[in-house]
Amino acid sequence: MKFETALLHSKHKDERKIKSKATPIYQTSAFTFSNLEELEGFYNGNGQYLYTRTGNPNTDELGQIVSRLEEAPAGVVASSGLAAIMVGVLAVAKSGDHIVATDDLYGGSFHLISEELSELGIQVTVVPFNDIEKVEQAIQENTKLLYTESITNPLLRVEDLEQVVSLAKKYNLKTLVDNTFATPYHCKPYTLGIDMVVHSATKYIGGHSDVTAGVIVGEVALMAKASAKVVNLGANLSPFEAWLTARGAKTLALRMKAQSLNAKKVAEALHNHGAVEKVYYPFSHGEEGYGAMVTITLAEKVNVSSFFQSLGWVKIVPTLAGVETSVSHPLTTSHRALPAEKCAELGITNHVIRISVGIEHADDIIAQLVHAIEQAR
């Protein structure tokens, strides 16, 4: 199937007696059994569902949707993007092991690996992945995983995934890539050799700013380990959240096409603005845009507080990817957890603005952003 068709037609096994067009919400904490023999059969592999923490038709469907779009064998759903990253790491690393991660990760991910993993005894080294020699130098005898993002947050660097895969194979390492910004509409890391692909499904997979969810996909053996971590750590997603996310995913192709095209137009317009010092956007990837995020550095003459006060109908939010255009301030929101020296090193300053471009008319988006910039000069 083509991408747009695969979005709508799941291969999820359907044993319903009542054939509703839309998947029902299995809003239940547990499933019933006719007798003890049937209950015992579940533990012997003859039953599918017991307790929603261990599995539910709605979470299974969402995992299968994303794994199919990524062209991966299996998918596991978790309560958030960070939970999905955590179970992915724990599927390959334990206390005493070491991972190497890119230094320009999303701030929440950076905090997770630098603080929480260290308390679990997992060592982490962060290096710039745009310098593959530094990545190789960071690899130790106990290294198990290389972890990066397909399009980094917030400076939108496009990772050379083939290079990462090549290095991982050289040292027999597993790889984990956060594909949230690109989505499988633009990039399918698993098809390039990446072992595990993770999404904050809160963002583009769900697409409507009304859920918090995570999905990780990859080879069957790794996903079995990740699934066990979800179950044992209680990181499962609720049936209703899974249902909402699966419903939102059906329009992913339409949304990403419109939002990416709008984002490229916004990036081109702001690139020529005298009060914009720099525009970050993957211009060289995709004729009709490559992702719906645009990041800019405002000139020093622009008052950042005034810019945010002048945005009008453009929403100020600490997240991204809804159908409405929104703007955030990475230094004080998404990357607040990064040490100040690391932010400075990466170029995440007070004047860096992250724009999540929506499906409104591009001319209106550009006009409103330009208005805010002019008002803040």
CATH number for the domain that contains residue 187: 3.40.640.10
Q: What amino acid is encoded at 132 in this protein?
A: I
Give pLDDT, residue 149.
98
Q: Are 242 and 274 within one domain? A: no
The CATH number for 268's domain is 3.90.1150.10
How far apart, in whole angstroms, are the C-alpha atoms of residue 338 and residue 129? 17
pLDDT < 50 positions in the chain? none
Give pLDDT, residue 20.
85
Return all residues near 6 (Cβ < 8 A) that are at least 6 apart. Answer: 68, 69
Give pLDDT, residue 145.
98
Q: Are 72 and 197 within one domain? A: yes
Q: Kindly state the helix (H) or strand (E) to which residue 297 belongs, with its residue range.
A: strand 293-298
Give pLDDT, residue 14.
63
Q: Are 148 and 126 within one domain? A: yes
CA distances for 182 relative to 106, 118, 146, 254, 262, angstroms: 14, 29, 19, 14, 15
Q: Closest by alpha carbon to 129, among 183, 166, 84?
A: 166
End-to-end CA distance of the chain: 50
Q: 109-140 b/e with 16+ CB inside 10 Å = b?
A: bbbbbbeebeeeebbbbbbebbeeeebeebbe
Which two three-digit tokens encode residue 181?
């910004």
Q: Are 195 and 306 within one domain? A: no
Give pLDDT, residue 15.
64
pTM score of the predicted model: 0.95
Which two three-digit tokens encode residue 131?
């310098």
- Tell me the torsion sign for CA atoms 344, 107, 319, 74: positive
Helices 239-249 & 57-69, crossing angle to 10 degrees? 30
Q: Are 216 and 282 within one domain? A: no
Q: Are 154 and 244 within one domain? A: yes
Give pLDDT, residue 16.
66
In the three-class reduction of DSSP (H, G, I as helix; E, B as strand; rest coil), residue 113 is classed as: helix
Q: Are 105 and 78 within one domain? A: yes
Q: Are 212 and 293 within one domain? A: no
Helix count (H) and strand count (E) of the chain? 15, 12
How far apart, in whole angstroms, are the C-alpha atoms of residue 15 and residue 39? 18
Give pLDDT, residue 17.
73
Q: Are 228 and 282 within one domain? A: no
Q: Are 211 and 287 within one domain? A: no
Q: Across the strands, what pairs with 175?
A: 146
Q: Which domain holds residue 352?
A: 252-376
Say if CB 250 and CB 8 are below 8 A apart.
Answer: yes
How far apart, in whole angstroms, are the C-alpha atoms of residue 70 and residue 184? 6
Say if CB 235 and CB 278 are below 8 A apart.
Answer: no
Q: Are 153 and 288 within one domain? A: no
Which of these three, 230, 249, 268, is where a domain ends?
Answer: 249
Which of these three, 231, 249, 267, is where a domain ends?
Answer: 249
How far apart, in whole angstroms, are the C-alpha atoms of residue 371 and residue 352? 17
Give pLDDT, residue 7.
85
Say if CB 238 and CB 57 are below 8 A apart.
Answer: no
Query: What's the number of domains the chain is made of?
Result: 2
Q: Are 224 and 257 within one domain? A: no
Which of these three, 223, 249, 275, is where a domain ends?
Answer: 249
